[in-house]
């Protein structure tokens, strides 16, 4: 019994000293390691006379617990001291100027959305938003898309239920449906946002960004549409002249419908937008189909309008010379640091969109 009391007294004295974490761990090993002093005492319990064995075992357990608690407290004390010292050293005086910082970059897609919003706000368009998860009616039926239309096929659309009633929106056009259902004409909106289609390669992604434009009022015609797009393309690409043509096309929600091409040329290995003898498809547009207006309770005999849809990622690629769409979603900081924008450079028409 005197042996274990001596062990306790000796190591209690040691643990009261100013020790390092390594020294504490060494003491722990000396006491409770495989051949440690306390571990050895437990191995010797069987050799103690039976009359004294119960008291010895009880005293040994008590000493073991006291020493273990002392070691644990000492470790906590050392770790707390380290944390407090670290906090003291790293304490920041918020009244002092910043010593060093790393400024983040605005993603080209976010920058392009801001540029588009700035341009259209100058001519009276407001920005509307809608959910990424849509119902079948807003995404297809209300937009005059019949049940047998190829766009409804599972290979193009991500459906979220077996009945094909809930889906990831394939375009931002459902926002115009939601806007017209909750309000009365006139409408003059753009709707930028994420869209989803089952397609993926160098120039297509299963998730991409699109901006929808809609203008509904009395006596609106294709001339208004052409003027609006001519203004937008010149402002966005920051050129004084733009060569533009409308090609007949088909969309179920517009009639007549058109694809818009702009002229370009290659100079010194770079694509130059504006004038040129080559054509580049840039967007789809048309006059809103009367059936769409009827579906949102707008009288097509009183109101007409145009709509257009533009791929935001494609615009960013063309304007900023990005040749692979997949890089937009790789989360590579080196790429973002190269193509990204200063967060303080908010695009405006009068200061320049992409200074």
pLDDT in tens, 104-146: 889 999 999 999 999 999 999 999 999 999 999 999 999 998 8
Whether the predicted model's global pTM rises above the 0.75 cut: no
Could you read off the pLDDT of 198-229 as tens digits, one per residue?
A: 776 655 678 889 999 999 999 999 999 999 99
DSSP bridge pairs for 261: 245, 281
Average pLDDT over residues 259-275: 86
The helix (H) or strand (E) run that includes residue 67 is helix 50-90
- Distance between CA atoms of 287 and 254, rounded to whole angstroms? 5
Average pLDDT over residues 244-249: 94
Closest CA to 305 of 139, 187, 132, 183: 187
| pLDDT value at 2 more than 70 | no
DSSP-derived letter for residue 45 is G
The helix (H) or strand (E) run that includes residue 318 is helix 312-320
- For residues 325 and 255, which has the higher predicted lDDT (pLDDT)? 255
Exposure on the CB side of residue 31, measured as CA atoms within 13 A: 27
For the domain spanning 108-339, the CATH number is 3.30.930.10
Question: In the numeric block, which tokens belong to residue 181?
Answer: 């259902």
Question: In the numeric block, which tokens belong to residue 52?
Answer: 């004294």
- Distance between CA atoms of 279 and 353, rounded to whole angstroms? 24
C-alpha Rg value of the chain to the nearest Å: 36
């Amino acid at each position: 019994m005197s042996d274990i009391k001596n062990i306790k007294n000796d190591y209690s004295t040691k643990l009261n000293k100013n020790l390092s974490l390594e020294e504490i761990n060494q003491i722990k090993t000396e006491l409770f390691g495989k051949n440690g002093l306390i571990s050895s005492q437990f191995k010797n319990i069987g050799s103690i006379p039976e009359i004294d064995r119960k008291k010895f075992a009880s005293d040994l357990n008590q000493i073991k617990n006291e020493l273990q608690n002392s070691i644990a407290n000492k470790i906590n004390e050392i770790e707390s001291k380290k944390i407090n010292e670290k906090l003291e050293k790293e304490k920041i005086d918020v009244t002092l100027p910043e010593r060093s910082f790393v400024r983040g970059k605005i993603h080209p897609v976010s920058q392009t959305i801001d540029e588009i919003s700035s341009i259209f706000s100058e001519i009276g368009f407001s920005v509307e938003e809608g959910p990424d998860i849509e119902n079948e009616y807003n995404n297809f039926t209300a937009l005059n898309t019949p049940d047998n239309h190829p766009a409804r096929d599972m290979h193009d659309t991500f459906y979220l239920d077996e009945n094909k009633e809930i889906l990831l929106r394939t375009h931002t056009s459902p926002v115009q449906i939601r806007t017209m259902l909750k309000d009365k004409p006139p409408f003059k909106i753009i709707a930028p946002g994420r869209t989803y289609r089952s397609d993926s390669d160098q120039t297509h992604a299963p998730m991409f960004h699109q901006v929808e434009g809609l203008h509904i009022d009395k006596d609106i015609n294709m001339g208004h549409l052409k003027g609006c797009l001519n203004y937008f393309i010149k402002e966005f690409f920051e050129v004084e002249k733009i060569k533009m043509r409308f090609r007949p096309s088909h969309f179920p929600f517009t009639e007549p419908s058109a694809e818009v091409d702009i002229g370009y040329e290659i100079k010194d290995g770079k694509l130059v937008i504006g004038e040129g003898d080559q054509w580049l498809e840039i967007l789809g547009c048309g006059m809103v189909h009367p059936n769409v207006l009827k579906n949102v309770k707008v009288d097509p005999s009183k109101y007409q309008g145009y709509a257009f849809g533009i791929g935001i990622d494609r615009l960013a690629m063309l304007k900023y010379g990005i040749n692979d769409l997949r890089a937009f979603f790789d989360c590579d900081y080196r790429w973002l640091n190269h193509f990204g924008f200063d967060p303080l450079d908010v695009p405006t028409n009068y200061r320049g969109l992409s200074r």
